[in-house]
Amino acid sequence: MLYMIALNGERPPELGDFVKGVGMIRSEYLMRNIESYITMKRTKEYIEEYITKVCKFYKEKPVWYRTSELVTPEVNVLQGADMIFEEKHYILGMRGIRRGLRLKETFNEELQVISKLSQKYNNLNILLPYIKDVDELDKVLSMLKENHFLGKCGIMLEIPSVFIMLKEFLKREISNITIGVNDLTMLTLGTFRGSEYHDLCHPAIMKIIRETTDIVKKSSGDVEVNVAGYISESFVEAVKDIAINHLVVHYKDMPEVCNLSGTLFPDIGFVPNVKKLTKLRIREREEKYELYNE
């Protein structure tokens, strides 16, 4: 099994050739860490500085930057939030690419930062989250072209419609399909994270992963299929015979999943601390405005 790492703002660990690159930089954690949205100058500078550090560190390996995957309560508590939306059922709401395409001016600011860096670092690529159809992809590809983006483009397969329409997506200029098993499991099995029914190893999820790799390899040899999420050792065992290109393992999960020393990962508490901070800000806002108290 070949591994890539998912970063969220942590310092890249010294792992040599064990990891084949960065499967995703989860940009929303960069923004949540400094409590500032992409509209702010300091956020752009912070993201640019972090991507530069990662691209230089992995200079011979691919780096996939995933565009913002913030849900509305998370955006609402950031400095510079472009528009406030109240969504009680925000997990199925305006997140990922659908927010980007609704608020294109803001999304374009993020694409401008990445496009500019892609002209300096040829290992920098872009990954599009929570996309549902080729119409959305076409719109983003057009925006990337307008911004002179030079890297490769990939999509997340999280919504089952992407699997259903996979052959249509493969007709577009994409180089990466990253199966996000967290949301895919939720949307396929009708469950939620933490539920007893939320089984990443469920036969339906394994079938989607296996058939995705089969379809991609028959249709296009230039597109890689990766799998990302909160991966466990049991999940690694379940997919070991499926011909995926890489497992993308989160920084904090790598010691356990990959049997590596925890001393290699000094920033192991980064994501839990950011989550705690964001939850605090959301709770403070909800109490202030007396939201969702019915």
Which pLDDT tens digit goes with each residue over 22-38? Answer: 999 999 999 999 999 99
Which pLDDT tens digit goes with each residue over 44-81? Answer: 999 999 999 999 999 999 999 999 999 999 999 999 99
- Residue 94: DSSP 8-state: S
- The domain ranges of the chain are 3-289
Q: How far apart are CA 146 and CA 143, in angstroms?
A: 5
Beta strands in the chain (DSSP E): 3-7, 19-26, 63-66, 124-128, 153-157, 176-180, 224-229, 246-250
Q: How far apart are CA 168 and CA 277, in angstroms?
A: 40
Measured in Å, how far apart are the chain's first and last C-alpha atoms?
49
137: exposed, middle or buried (Cβ count in 10 Å: 0-12, 13-18, 19+): buried
Q: Residue 260: its pLDDT value, please?
A: 97
Instruction: Identify whether the C-beta of residue 73 lies closer than 8 Å to the C-beta of residue 282.
Output: yes
Instruction: Identify whether the C-beta of residue 242 lies closer than 8 Å to the C-beta of residue 206.
Output: yes
pTM value?
Answer: 0.96
Q: How far apart are CA 245 and CA 1, in angstroms?
A: 8
Q: What is the dihedral of CA 186, 190, 191, 192, to 10 degrees?
A: 50
49: exposed, middle or buried (Cβ count in 10 Å: 0-12, 13-18, 19+): exposed
Helix/strand/coil percent split, the chain, to 5: 50, 15, 35
Q: What residues in the chain have per-residue pLDDT under 70? A: 220, 292-294
Q: How far apart are CA 77 and CA 84, in angstroms?
A: 9
State the CB neighbour count (10 A cutoff) for residue 61.
14
E strand or H helix at 115: helix 104-118
- Scan for tokens 């790598």, then name that residue: 254
Instruction: Identify whether the C-beta of residue 8 lies closer than 8 Å to the C-beta of residue 271.
Output: yes
DSSP string, 161-198: HHHHTHHHHTTSS--EEEEEHHHHHHHHHT--TTSTT-
Q: Residue 292: its pLDDT value, please?
A: 61
Q: How far apart are CA 175 and CA 282, in angstroms?
A: 36
What residues contact residue 114 under an 8 Å CB cut-off, 6+ apart? Answer: 51, 65, 67, 124, 126, 149, 151
Domain 3-289 CATH (choose: 3.20.20.100, 3.30.230.70, 3.10.310.10, 3.20.20.60): 3.20.20.60
Instruction: Identify whether the C-beta of residue 212 lies closer than 8 Å to the C-beta of residue 188.
Output: no
Q: How far apart are CA 230 and CA 152, in angstroms?
A: 25
State the CB neighbour count (10 A cutoff) for residue 60.
7
